[in-house]
């Protein structure tokens, strides 16, 4: 009788731990950022505002959604980027050409790797004619 109870408690505990781990990982990858300028992600231009950025680690997909619930959202594929140091805070890195901003990288806190977006055709065209690219970083407040 004691053996069956011990087995049941052990299995229940293991199941609870395994069920809670993905939920924790998902919440840690949600970033809420206030972007003060419009920016390009892939083929979409998103207006300035507050955005929720969610990285799906297994697929390297990044979902960018307006935090205000409006329809501005997009999903992009990223490639892993090894860090110089481990990211301590969430941040977005943009490439700036004149007054146009292109999302370049997404970093989540505590992650050993960032996610880098592929350069769009529009960014590649601007890069040819620009004298230099400026990197602009936005770091999460919390």
H-type helices in the chain, by residue range?
A: 2-28, 121-129
Q: Which residue has the higher pLDDT, 3 or 24?
A: 3
The string of pLDDT tens digits covering residues 73-131 is: 888 888 888 776 666 788 899 999 989 999 999 887 777 778 889 999 999 998 888 77
User: Distance (Å, rounded) from C-alpha 101 to C-alpha 58?
Assistant: 27
What mean pLDDT value characterizes the chain? 75
Helix (H, G, I), strand (E, B) or coil at 42: coil
**Maximal C-alpha separation, the chain:** 78
> What pLDDT is recorded for position 15?
43
Distances (CA, A) of 22 to 28, 29, 31, 53, 60: 10, 11, 16, 17, 16
Q: What is the mean pLDDT of residues 9-34?
A: 50
Across the range 23-29, mean pLDDT stands at: 44
Mean pLDDT of 31-39: 90
Whether the Cβ atoms of residue 52 and residue 30 lie closer than 8 Å to each other? yes
Residue identified by tokens 């109870």 is 5
- Which tokens in the block code for residue 16? 């609870």
- Segment 47-58 shows an average pLDDT of 80
Whole-number pLDDT of residue 113: 75
pLDDT mean over 23-41: 73
pLDDT classification of 59: cutoffs 50, 70, 90: low
Choose among 93, 106, 105: nearest CA to 134. 93
Residue 17's pLDDT band, with cuts at 50, 70 and 90, is very low
CA distance 68 to 90: 19
């Amino acid at each position: 009788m004691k053996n069956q109870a011990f087995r049941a408690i052990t299995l229940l505990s293991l199941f609870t731990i395994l069920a809670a781990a993905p939920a924790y990982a998902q919440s840690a990858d949600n970033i809420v950022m206030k972007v003060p300028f419009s920016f390009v992600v892939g083929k979409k231009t998103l207006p300035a505002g507050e955005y929720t950025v969610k990285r799906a680690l297994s697929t390297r997909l990044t979902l960018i959604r307006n935090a205000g619930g409006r329809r501005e959202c997009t999903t992009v594929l990223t490639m892993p980027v090894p860090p110089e140091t481990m990211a301590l805070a969430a941040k977005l890195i943009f490439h700036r050409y004149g007054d146009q901003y292109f999302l370049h990288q997404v970093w989540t806190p505590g992650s050993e790797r960032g996610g880098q977006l592929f350069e769009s055709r529009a960014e590649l065209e601007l890069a040819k004619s620009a004298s230099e690219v400026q990197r602009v970083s936005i770091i999460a407040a919390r």
